[in-house]
């Protein structure tokens, strides 16, 4: 934390990688790389039981950590100097993503002992930074045009530009009111849909011209989206909203998590970009499909998995590495993590099965979330909506 608070000294040149520096350079902007702080220190309570053993940023989307998709998008835009503002699970994230070189970015880790919220993270990491930097929620998937947002920000000489996404129902989000020039005039947190000033919400991507918080904010919890931003708007400061009309998903809930995978495997949104997807819509990454198995895309099956004769997998579905789908079993609309076993004649529909889960033969599950290492007994069900107790840590 101390090193980060010294204003980012110690950043090395970003590693060379396909696409690095792309959008910013293409637009003729002066910067070739930019800094970002990614907020990854939440507890992920809404994603329990999945997050009891896997931090939210590492839950798999297309068999890759959720965060790797956002990092890939930032790398393509030339945002490669990235501080991950984490908390208790920071070490686990560091073990998985390392220094970021494999993803074409340079990662550093700044872990909070107690949660400091977005305000604390910004104040401690960005103190002394004198160039524009991003702050981004580490649980989103988006194809927002980062280079266009930078150009928008610079053209308006904004102090702060907030990426916005339009949603049907803004009642669970921070909503903005904008004037004709896209300056944000005020914020409303989680308004009833009928009284919302717009359907444009804070998409969790913020470009700061400079840190707007003093050092005192580095030691206490605050959420800038609920405190600083409304205060700046009330003062008439130059805060602008950049309207993004493409893909944006906040992977906060189990429903959103399953959707992230279903969209990604179907090619909706940016996630398939890094995988070489065949025209057939099946990507079988070294998996074994026995003769007599029936597959319907879109489908991803990880290396070492076996789809036995007589099994049926109907896409959209994502199956991890080293899974076994037994004869006569049927999978659809589901996400299976690595090491899952679905035994003969079991049915799995609309489910998320975490690492090493087992569904016993002839069991039937709909819309269920099965935690790591758990076993659904043979012939169980039909059962729907199973979750383990969200307050309990399974052994
Ligand atoms: P829930 O507990 O289900 O609400 O999830 P969450 O803890 O991830 O909270 P939320 O979805 O509101 O967080 C948005 C992003 O900010 C996520 O990427 C979190 O990891 C991150 N985040 C939330 N709180 C903190 C915090 O206190 N410090 C830091 N550094 N990051 C945070």
Q: Read off the pLDDT of residues 179-237 as tens digits, 9 standing for 90 and up.
A: 999 999 999 989 998 888 899 999 999 999 988 887 778 888 999 999 999 999 999 99
Say yes or no: CB of residue 44 within 6 Å of ligand 1. yes
- Give the residue from 104, 103, 84 showing the smallest Cα distance to 92: 84
Residue nearest to ligand 1 atom 7, measured at CA? 42
d(CA 363, CA 342): 9
Residue nearest to ligand 1 atom 24, measured at CA? 42
DSSP, collapsed to helix, strand or coil, labels residue 330 as strand
Residue given tokens 């569904």 in the structure block? 359
Token code pair at residue 223? 């959420």
pLDDT at 5: 29
DSSP, collapsed to helix, strand or coil, labels residue 371 as coil
Residue nearest to ligand 1 atom 27, measured at CA? 117
pLDDT at 392: 53
DSSP letter for 59, please.
S
Distance 348 CA to ligand 1 centre (A): 30
Say yes or no: CB of residue 174 within 6 Å of ligand 1. no
d(CA 344, CA 342): 7
Q: Which of 39, 48, 83, 134 is the best mutation target for the ligand 1 pocket, counting ligand atoms within 8 Å of the beta carbon and taking the most?
A: 39
Contact residues for 254 (Cβ-Cβ < 8 A; gap 6+): 46, 47, 50, 352, 369, 387
Q: Which of 4, 42, 65, 220 is the best mutation target for the ligand 1 pocket, counting ligand atoms within 8 Å of the beta carbon and taking the most?
A: 42
Say yes or no: CB of residue 286 within 6 Å of ligand 1. no
Token code pair at residue 143? 């194809």
Distance 34 CA to ligand 1 centre (A): 23
Distance 41 CA to ligand 1 centre (A): 6
Distance 311 CA to ligand 1 centre (A): 39
Q: Which residues of the chain have pLDDT under 70?
A: 1-32, 279, 385, 388-395
Q: What is the pLDDT of residues 248-258, one digit of tens each?
A: 999 999 999 99
Say yes or no: CB of residue 121 within 6 Å of ligand 1. yes
Say yes or no: CB of residue 85 within 6 Å of ligand 1. yes
Residue nearest to ligand 1 atom 19, measured at CA? 42
d(CA 112, CA 97): 18
Distance 151 CA to ligand 1 centre (A): 28
Task: Give me the sign of the Cα torsion angle 284, 288, 289, 291.
Answer: positive
Say yes or no: CB of residue 246 within 6 Å of ligand 1. no
pLDDT at 17: 39
Distance 288 CA to ligand 1 centre (A): 38
Residue nearest to ligand 1 atom 29, measured at CA? 41
Say yes or no: CB of residue 138 within 6 Å of ligand 1. yes
Distance 326 CA to ligand 1 centre (A): 38
Other Cβ atoms within 10 Å of 304 Cβ, number: 16
Contact residues for 342 (Cβ-Cβ < 8 A; gap 6+): 323, 324, 325, 326, 329, 331, 336, 348, 353, 358, 359
pLDDT at 283: 86
The C-alpha angle with vertex 146 and arms to 120 and 131, in degrees rounded to 5, equals 50
Q: For residue 86, which atom of ligand 1 is closest to its CA?
A: 30
Q: Within a 13 Å sphere around the CA of 92, how many CA atoms are in the beta-carbon half?
A: 16
């Amino acid at each position: 934390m101390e090193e980060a608070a010294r204003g980012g000294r110690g950043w090395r040149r970003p590693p060379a990688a396909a696409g690095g520096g792309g959008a910013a350079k293409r637009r003729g902007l002066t910067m070739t790389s930019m800094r970002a702080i990614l907020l990854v220190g939440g507890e992920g309570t809404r994603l329990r039981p999945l997050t009891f053993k896997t931090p939210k940023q590492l839950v798999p989307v297309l068999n890759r950590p959720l965060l790797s998709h956002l990092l890939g998008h930032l790398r393509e835009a030339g945002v490669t100097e990235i501080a991950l503002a984490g908390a208790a699970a920071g070490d686990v994230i560091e073990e998985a993503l390392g220094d970021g070189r494999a993803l074409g970015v340079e990662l550093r880790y700044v872990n909070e002992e107690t949660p400091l919220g977005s305000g604390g993270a910004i104040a401690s990491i960005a103190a002394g930074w004198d160039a524009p930097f991003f702050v981004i929620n580490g649980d989103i998937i988006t194809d927002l045009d980062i280079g266009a947002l930078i150009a928008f920000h610079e053209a308006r000489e904004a102090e702060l530009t907030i990426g916005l996404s339009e949603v049907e129902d803004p009642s669970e989000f921070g909503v903005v009111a904008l004037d004709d020039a896209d300056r944000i005039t005020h914020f409303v947190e989680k308004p009833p849909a009928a009284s919302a000033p717009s359907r444009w919400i804070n998409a969790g991507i913020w470009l700061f011209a400079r840190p707007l918080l003093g050092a005192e904010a580095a030691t206490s919890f605050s959420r800038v989206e609920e405190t600083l931003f409304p205060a700046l708007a009330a003062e008439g400061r130059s805060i602008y909203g950049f309207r993004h009309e493409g893909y944006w998903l906040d992977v906060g809930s189990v429903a959103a998590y399953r959707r992230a995978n279903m969209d990604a495997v179907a090619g909706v949104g940016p996630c398939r970009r890094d995988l070489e997807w065949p025209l057939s819509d099946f990507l079988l990454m070294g998996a074994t499909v026995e003769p007599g198995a029936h597959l319907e895309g879109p489908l991803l099956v990880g290396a070492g998995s076996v789809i036995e004769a007589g099994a049926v997998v109907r896409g959209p579905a994502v199956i991890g590495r080293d899974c076994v789908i037994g004869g006569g079993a049927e999978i659809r609309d589901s996400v299976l993590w690595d090491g899952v076993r679905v035994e003969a004649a079991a049915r799995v529909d609309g489910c998320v099965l975490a690492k090493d889960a087992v569904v016993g033969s002839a069991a039937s599950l709909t819309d269920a979330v099965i935690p790591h290492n758990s076993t659904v007994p043979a012939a169980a069900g039909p059962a729907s909506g199973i979750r383990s107790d969200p307050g309990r840590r399974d052994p």
